Structure 1
């Protein structure tokens, strides 16, 4: 499991409106494409340098493909990254603050100590 890779996915998708739409419409395809093409690029490195070892676990892939923010949080994804990305994808389908409240309700069963979100 790589909390770094989960957070990197959420961060990079959220920063590009076209990728947000792609992920909203075709989560499985976007996750597969991103893992193959971008997962091993060095974040914020413009020299073409790449690593070779990063990949999602089956559990991470499933949570990303299903837009399962509760499972992602349990896997160590930072809640602010999932919240901002998922607001960009799903807030338009709901009234004012409805999505944010539903997001919080879905996590309310969790109690301290929360999963470690440090990378």
Structure 2
């Protein structure tokens, strides 16, 4: 398991409006493409710089492909990264103000202190 890679996915997708829409419409395909093409690119480095060892495990891949943010939180994904990305994807589906944020809080309400470790 790599909290770093989960957070890197959330961070990079959230910063690109086209990727946000791609992830909303085709989560499994986006996760597969990102893992194959982007996971090993080094952030903030020139093109061509990459590593070769970063991969999601099956649980991480499934949680990302299913937009399962409670599982991502349990795995140690940073809650601010999940919240901002999923707001961008799903707030528009709610009629009431803060609709998605309330749903997010409700689905994470079963977690008690201490929360899962989010250190990478």
TM class by shorter chain equals over 0.9
Offset at 1:18?
0.1
Partner of 2:99: 98
Offset at 1:46?
1.6
Offset at 1:44?
1.1
Question: Partners in 2 of 1:91 and 1:52 — Cα distance?
Answer: 36
Question: Partners in 2 of 1:18 and 1:82 — Cα distance?
Answer: 17
Question: Partners in 1 of 2:94 and 2:10 — Cα distance?
Answer: 21
Partner of 1:24: 24
Q: Which runs of 4+ in 1 moved over 4 A?
A: none
Partner of 2:64: 64
Offset at 1:56?
0.0
Partner of 2:10: 10
Question: Partners in 2 of 1:8 and 1:64 — Cα distance?
Answer: 12
CA root-mean-square deviation: 0.6
Partner of 2:109: 108
Query: Which digits, 9 at most, give the CA deviation of each residue in 1:33-87, with x for residues without a partner?
Result: 0000000000111242100000000000000000000000000100000000000
TM-score normalised per structure 1:
0.98
Aligned residue runs from structure 1 range 37-52, under 5 A: 37-52=37-52
TM-score normalised per structure 2:
0.97
Offset at 1:94?
0.4
Question: Partners in 1 of 2:91 and 2:116 — Cα distance?
Answer: 25
The alignment covers a number of residue pairs equal to 119
> Unpaired runs of 5+ in structure 2?
none
